[in-house]
Amino acid sequence: MCTNMYGNLTCYDDATSRYIQAFFNSINTVLIICGNTLALVIVYRTKALQDAAFCFLMNLALSDLLLGVISQPPSLYYAISCHWPGGPDGFYCQFVGFCICLLCSVSVISLGLVSYERYHYTVHPFQHINKFTLYRSLNACVIVWLYSAIASLFPVVGIWKGVGLQPYNALCNIQWEEEPMYLVAMIVGVLLPSWAMITFSYYNIVKVARKARKIDVIKNQVTLRNRAPVSNIASNIPACIATGVLDDSYHDDSTISTIHATSRSCKNRANFKKTMRSNKCTLTVSLLVGTFIVCWTPYVIVNIIQAVQCTPNSFEAIAFAQWMCIFNSACNPLIYGLTNKTFREGVSKLMRELKCRRRI
């Protein structure tokens, strides 16, 4: 355990470096507030996006927005003036530290819920509609906020001491080095369950996607190797088989028997069809999780090194790591816009309406 690691650390004396830090933090602030506000507005205005998948994504957007609004303004002020509003031991410092822990916990758990919802949508599509209703999804989001709030309260109420000013980060945050037991508790209670859901979900999604691609390859082989395309035989077979969904028992001389043998696989075909329709949304979640890992890895590495050495890292390393993990909150709305057609259409519609109002 590192005791009072930041006690002798003061504001970085190179004003130019602090101003650069403030400049990049201001970019983060603008992107976070504008991007996540836009995401929430588009989903509110677009009924097609008001489903379980986007419910969890909007839970993530809300936590990102609040993180930018609460943590970044005082961080900018400290980077420029070397003074934290209310002092490093005041209520506001404790409040910001609590909110950062709360909002980051909500983000991590929301990523786990998003991946788990995509797993059911892809692998168990017939159960998905009843299991992931909008009402249940909203209740799950409320539970996530309550759970994260309770977990984040411990350092603030004094059960675990650990909220303080970190000068090079220009933030009041949980000082994980001083409370290793709380760090372990948060890893076990927040990180591990979320990443277990993510790993389980995407492992099964990849399995289904590979099987779907394999069936598509077999279908193409049947079409190319037979004089009569599969579509010409469709009138003699069940409708669900006419699309060419075949099992792995295909042989050149038994096309018809193979097609009939797959009649029992109509339900599986529906699963694969829904899998292909969900590819774009699954890509969205993959990008969200991948971006989260890339952005948070430097921060985790820096904190591990500090915990082992009981000495703060360089200003440049700490400032970069902090900026990267906050930048993650600015990336998520961009991912929505790039990967979801309905979301892009909602943005275009909003822009057209704003232009019309300006003309009036």
In tens, the pLDDT along 310-332 reads 777 888 998 999 899 889 888 88
DSSP letters for 215-279? HHHHHHHHHHHSSS-HHHHGGGS-GGGTT----TT--TT-HHHHHHHGGGGHHHHHHHHHHHHTH
172 bridge partner residues? 165
* pLDDT tens by residue, 223-235: 666 544 444 444 4
Q: What is the pLDDT of residues 55-94, one digit of tens each?
A: 888 898 899 999 999 999 999 999 999 899 888 888 899 9
Q: What DSSP assignment string belongs to 92-125?
A: HHHHHHHHHHHHHHHHHHHHHHHHHHHHHHHH-H
Strand partners, 174: 163
Instruction: Find the length of the chain.
Output: 360
Q: Give me the pLDDT at residue 57, please.
A: 83
Indicate whether this model's pTM tops 0.85.
Answer: no
pLDDT for 238:
43
- What b/e string do you get for 38-52 counting C-beta neighbours within 10 Å, with b at 16 or more? bbeebbeebeebebb
Structure tokens at 272: 């694969």
Task: Work out the pLDDT band at 300, boundaries 50, 70, 90.
Answer: confident
Average pLDDT score over residue span 116-122: 84
* pLDDT in the model for residue 121: 83
String of DSSP letters for 149-174: HHHHHHHHHTSS--EEEETTTTEEEE
